[in-house]
Structure 1
Amino acid sequence: MDPCTTCPANFQEYQKRFPEMFDAYREAARRARTAGPLDEKTTHLVQLAAAVGIRSEGAVHSHARRALDAGAAPDELFHVVNLMVSTVGFPAAAAAFSWIRDVLENR
């Protein structure tokens, strides 16, 4: 697969060191997104919620960017975070809120 030139540097380094694993990872992600009825925007919003749940700043950044690229509005991203408060707690949601703001400020 093509190099991920928009991915974080660490991700790009992984791709260079392990191209076959990276290709398999990207193909598995593509298949998962297209295996069901959810559209691309919705799949990234779901993955954003999961990223908030595991407190992964990188994944929150990635899925926020990708959801925006797929047509999500900033308010939809923040709504996902708000929905997660009762599941993961306010501190994790507040962190995710700031990570989404990072993405929006850099667009």
Structure 2
Amino acid sequence: MATNPSTQYLKIKQRHPQLISAVESLGKVAKQGGPIDEKTAQLIQLAAAAAIRSEGAVHSHAKRALDAGASVDEIRHALLLLTSTLGFPCVMAAMSWADEKL
């Protein structure tokens, strides 16, 4: 979990603690299931967040990637790599959301 979860996340956690516990457990088990390090995992999740155009998830995974040791340049490059797959407008939106946390 990010060091400073969003207000919305905290509201849902308060209303549905078992659901959030299950979601957090799923994430931990998935990460422990293979050899990918935390920094790489966060960059992958950042890319997925950009792909689904989730501003909140881009915010979260940009912060988590930083916390996991990714540089600002690595985060921006991970997003730029998506241009030919997702398209320029989608990537620019994700870049603007990530920049709010970088």
Q: Is the 8 A contact 2:46 2:62 kept in 1?
A: yes
Segments ≥4 residues shifted beyond 2 Å: none
**Map of 1:23-34 to 2, 5 A cutoff?**
23-34=21-32
Aligned to 1:50: 48
- State how far apart, in whole Å, the 1-side matches of 2:7 and 2:54 are: 16
Structure 2 residue identity aligned to 1:64 = A
Quick one: distance in 1 between partners of 2:43 and 2:16?
28
Q: How much does 1:5 deviate?
A: 6.9
Q: Which runs of 5+ in 2 are unaligned?
A: none
- What SS does the aligned partner of 2:34 have? coil
The whole-number CA distance in structure 1 between the counterparts of 2:98 and 2:21 is 27
Report the equivalent of 1:59.
57
The TM-score with structure 1 as length reference comes to 0.91
The match for 1:89 among 87, 90, 93 is: 87
Partner residue, 1:36: 34
Greater relative contact order, per chain length (Cα 8 Å cut-off, separation 6+): 2
- Report sequence identity in percent: 48
TM-score, with length taken from structure 2: 0.95
State the distance in 2 between where 1:74 and 1:42 align.
14
Residue-pair matches, total: 102
Shift of 1:23: 0.3
Q: Which runs of 5+ in 1 are unaligned?
A: none
Task: Give the deviation of 1:4 after TM superposition.
Answer: 7.4
Query: Quick check: 1:82–1:93 contact (8 Å CA) kept in 2?
Result: yes
